[in-house]
Amino acid sequence: MTRTYWLEHAWLGTHVEPGVAVDTKDGRITAVHQDADTPPPGAEILRGLTLPGLANAHSHAFHRALRGTVQVGSGTFWTWREIMYATADRLTPDTYHALARAAYAEMALAGITAVGEFHYVHHAPGGTPYADPNAMGEALIAAAADAGIRITLLDTCYLSAGFGQPPNTHQLRFSDRTAEAWAERCSVLKERDHARIGAAIHSVRAVPADQLATVAQWAEERRAPLHVHLSEQIAENDACRDVHGCTPTQLLALHGVLGPRTTGVHNTHLTAEDISLIGGSGTGTCMCPTTERDLADGIGPAVALQNEGSPLSLGSDSHAVIDLLEEARAMELNERLRSRTRGHWTAAALLRAATADGHAALGWADAGSLEPGALADFTTIALDSVRTAGALPRLGAETAVFAATAADVRHTVVGGRHVVRDGAHTLVPDVPQALAQAVDALRA
Ligand SMILES: [Zn+2]
């Protein structure tokens, strides 16, 4: 099927171009015509600033159920984790599907066209496999289809509570007992048009060192993305040093986990040598600034990582909010607070993290740009909302990154299909209600 879109303003990677016609066939861009002052006959008109679709490179869909409730009281990442585990205990394939469908619909409304789901709630409580051992992963893949977005299911190996410690009661359902059993289960998962399969190591706490290479090899054989939570907490670094005499990054390097298809998530508390190992190996960095600030993690050295060669991507992780524009500006604004200087990233660089580099981190190298051959995934930001009105269109990227929010997303197109039109989801009729019902079903 062929279709032409007329973009009132288009972000072409380096600048905003007014009046661009984009031809598509079977969900891919076939031609990009600049100087299209008026819409060609029959074209779908996208008013505002159209970007390539946004990639949410790090998600735990079920954390959406925690929003608000985890803001009562004080504590740390570790006390927050207890509340998170209580919700994980209550998930079933059906309730997980309902919640993920609603959360992914919220993502579509926020202009997100692809999500990286870091998925570790594999089995029934206590660790008994479901009749289909991938029932939970399949629920997530189906949820993404129902919400109209792409998914990379980053099936996560999670075997231990800490170095040399068996999984606790909550973690039993995360564990396949060995990395080999994890690999066997994951090998059954099938890719689909909207779904790719990748791997994840939950953290160096959760996968014994002598099993890290099994996960890395599985990803290597499939040329699949491999993600890992890395040095989000100082306690993880301390425990790793006590047991292995090195940092988590050094341990990953030693066991062949780092490389251009690998993404470290958070990369918060790193030594200078860690930064060189990550950057020098081409390992990516997924920053999740709204979660990192919510959980009082600290501010990761994203500038230094990028300078050493680590491509940056962005994720909403715990879904304290789902807003990739906020993630993008938060990365820059955190750095401003720390350094007391401005302009560490241009709006173009921040958009690159939110689009092309985010997609690449999820194994969708053919998405994230408005050019022939790319997937026809678009996000259109209103330039006439109360937040964005008055900006010069040629500064549309700066306006989108530094002033717009998810509420300004007017259209989301995935593979040439309008998933969000004029701010309304076309597949999930009432997203707030779907969220409320799905969250309510998980309350104790
Ligand atoms: Zn995470």
Q: What span, in angstroms and rounded, lies between the C-alpha atoms of 185 and 132?
A: 10
Model confidence at 80, in pLDDT bands (50, 70, 90)?
confident
| pLDDT of 73 higher than 90 | no
Structure tokens at 227: 């993600």
Ligand 1 centroid – CA 20 distance (Å): 38
Kindly give the residue spans of alpha helices, DSSP state H, lying in 234-355.
234-244, 248-254, 272-280, 289-294, 302-307, 324-339, 347-354
Ligand 1 centroid – CA 317 distance (Å): 5
Whether 425 sits among the annotated catalytic residues: the reply is no
- Selecting among 317, 323, 377, 408, the annotated active-site residue is 317
Structure tokens at 296: 């009082």
Which amino acid, residue 52?
P
Q: What span, in angstroms and rounded, lies between the C-alpha atoms of 39 and 6?
A: 5
Q: What span, in angstroms and rounded, lies between the C-alpha atoms of 134 and 155?
A: 10
Whether 193 sits among the annotated catalytic residues: the reply is no
| Residue 23 confidence (pLDDT) | 98
| Residue 326 confidence (pLDDT) | 98
Q: What span, in angstroms and rounded, lies between the C-alpha atoms of 112 and 388?
A: 19
Residues whose CB is under 5 A from ligand 1 (ion)?
Answer: 317
- Selecting among 97, 266, 269, 344, the annotated active-site residue is 266
Give the SS3 label for residue 398: helix
Ligand 1 centroid – CA 135 distance (Å): 21
The CATH number of the structural domain formed by 54-362 is 3.20.20.140
Q: Indicate the burial class of 29 (C-beta count within 10 angstroms; 0-12, 13-18, 19 or more).
A: buried
| Residue 384 confidence (pLDDT) | 97
Mean pLDDT to the nearest integer, 110-131: 97
Model confidence at 322, in pLDDT bands (50, 70, 90)?
very high
| pLDDT of 434 higher than 90 | yes
Under a CB-based contact definition with an 8 Å cutoff, are residues 122 and 137 in contact? Answer: yes
CATH class, range 3-52+367-423: mainly beta
Ligand 1 centroid – CA 21 distance (Å): 38
pTM beyond 0.85, yes or no: yes
pLDDT tens digits, 157-191: 999 999 999 999 999 999 999 999 999 999 999 99
Question: What percent of the chain clears pLDDT 70, i.e. is strictly above it?
Answer: 100
Q: For the chain, what are the domain ranges? A: 3-52+367-423, 54-362
For the chain, the 3-state helix, strand and coil shares in percent, each to the nearest 5, are 40, 25, 40
| pLDDT of 444 higher than 80 | no
| Residue 155 confidence (pLDDT) | 98
Ligand 1 centroid – CA 58 distance (Å): 6
Q: What span, in angstroms and rounded, lies between the C-alpha atoms of 223 and 379?
A: 28
